[in-house]
Structure 1
């Protein structure tokens, strides 16, 4: 429901959340699945929930399909002991919860664990969520999945102490772009989390402003590929850059993901895109690309991404595609018209 300022306010009542609360509080065992290439929102949400469930003496596992190792910036989050490798995720469980996953595909090879769960709960804030769970808690107005988890924890009567707050703040600060994209209540939640004693500045720096030296030459090469298509998006402009595998070297995936935050600052374009070449064992149909999209205030890139097989938020979305880069840029420009 939009406010007078155009911001959305959740229409999910406590009654709407009751089935999820019942499932969480009655579960005898829980698996929490995060999405592929995990970010702070999915991992922070998953670990915060795991900590709360463990305190209720509920056996709980947290996992994600790939990469093999959690990004360095996320390894200091509390609750890491609950993380298990994909092959160690139980085949059968009383309750399976997915966090920040807009579709089954975002679970990767762990999608088959849905079949072995007695009940499933989907917790997310993506408007494009396909609601693939038995119980779906999808608050499209929420700024992060961590915000949705915070509300669920409150309804469960779980304490949001320093460890839980650290995990939730990680999701909140990253998915709001250091509080550039907020809604009524965002800062109130941040203040509540900070009051537990966490160091918000340190958490934000570790997640958003810390890169190895190798990131600088990579960024130089990639930004050199940037192109501006001024006539795109009905004259509002598209800027895009390409990250090839040869540009990446041994850099972590999180360094590559950060490129979009630089490209989107271009004042000449409403929409920014970064095409990132992915490791791929079968390139017969051309290289595989993960595409990040961002917009400033007038283009719904989640709708654009949906046309191209992906999804996301109004101002931040993405999709995966395959083929020569020239053809993919052409497909994107067509979708933006």
Structure 2
């Protein structure tokens, strides 16, 4: 049931969760605050209802430092501790099964699978799919699920939901009607909105600065890409990541995307483990819910095996850096 802003029927998901005897919540690899905030909020509600629940993601090995203040982390388990059989498995903020990484195999052992997401490129890989492509974050979809379910959003749950909302809206730069209303409601529970945003988005170790200096030194501008829209990109190699966390690496795209001469931004991040594997982040100008102009980078990412939002997407590629960059230039045209 994919929606583009129309009301969603949460009935099937609520019935499955209400009758569940055990639940596994799976977040996407390299989790951000939207996927982990959604997963933990759901776990907190299920635990309150007395349902055995665990939350996990395939990689990295630990919860990113910036998200360790999120309530409910006691429900997070290592991938190898995720049961192979469960009553209900819920994938949150995942556009495709591939985004589950090594935990994709747990879907086969679930009696019921539910997908809760807001990516326009979502492949609806669950038995029950709750996808609102117009929603500003997956946590906002989860908030509406709780309302339909009659579950109270307390302070801990609000903290998790707000984390996804503030990050996926870029500190409320990309909003839709109702976004600020939801934020006000969550803040009304007593959470520290400024503190949450600062911890998630504005706090970096000193090592981030020299890493940023090296990486931005690789930045290139391709002004003729996509009929003159232009592409700005940078490359993060394995050696650049030695003294920084994954969230520092992920933040580079937010700087590259500010380039005035390019309508598309990309950051190529070399795997710390597999030399010729790269994760690629894409952004398009005026990104955010409700925007109609700009390049559809989700479409570009999909052709390269990934997906995402119209103006914010990503994919995984293999090969030498020059080959991976050339493939993106070809896809953009």
Shared fold per TM-score greater than 0.5:
yes
2:199 aligned residue (197, 206, 212): 206
Between the aligned partners of 2:7 and 2:129, the Cα distance in structure 1 is: 11
Alignment partner, residue 292 of structure 1: 281
What's the CA shift for 1:181? 1.1
1:332 aligned residue (322, 328, 331): 328
Between the aligned partners of 1:328 and 1:79, the Cα distance in structure 2 is: 38
1:61 aligned residue (54, 57, 61): 54
Between the aligned partners of 2:4 and 2:299, the Cα distance in structure 1 is: 20
Is the Cα–Cα contact under 8 Å of residues 306 and 314 in structure 2 kept in the other structure?
Answer: yes
Q: Count residues with an aligned counterpart.
A: 324
Between the aligned partners of 1:300 and 1:268, the Cα distance in structure 2 is: 18
Alignment partner, residue 4 of structure 1: none
Is the Cα–Cα contact under 8 Å of residues 231 and 237 in structure 1 kept in the other structure?
Answer: yes
Is the Cα–Cα contact under 8 Å of residues 9 and 184 in structure 1 kept in the other structure?
Answer: no
SS at match of 2:130: strand
1:224 aligns with 2:217: yes
What's the CA shift for 1:279? 2.5
SS at match of 1:90: coil
- Structure 2 matches for 1:1-337, cutoff 5 A? 10-13=5-8, 16-281=9-274, 283=275, 287-297=276-286, 298-337=294-333
Is the Cα–Cα contact under 8 Å of residues 218 and 247 in structure 1 kept in the other structure?
Answer: yes
Between the aligned partners of 1:88 and 1:296, the Cα distance in structure 2 is: 41
What's the CA shift for 1:288? 1.0
What's the CA shift for 1:113? 1.1
1:55-105 Cα shifts (integer Å, max 9, x gaps) = 111111111111111001111100011111111111111111110111111
Is the Cα–Cα contact under 8 Å of residues 296 and 315 in structure 1 kept in the other structure?
Answer: yes
Is the Cα–Cα contact under 8 Å of residues 275 and 289 in structure 1 kept in the other structure?
Answer: yes
SS at match of 2:10: helix
1:227-285 Cα shifts (integer Å, max 9, x gaps) = 0001112101100000001111131111000000011011111000000001334x5xx
What's the CA shift for 1:215? 0.3
Q: Higher mean Cα deviation, 73-82 or 323-332? A: 323-332
What's the CA shift for 1:107? 1.0
What's the CA shift for 1:109? 1.2
1:295-327 Cα shifts (integer Å, max 9, x gaps) = 113111101111111100011000110112222
Between the aligned partners of 2:103 and 2:327, the Cα distance in structure 1 is: 30
Between the aligned partners of 1:59 and 1:325, the Cα distance in structure 2 is: 44
SS at match of 2:281: strand
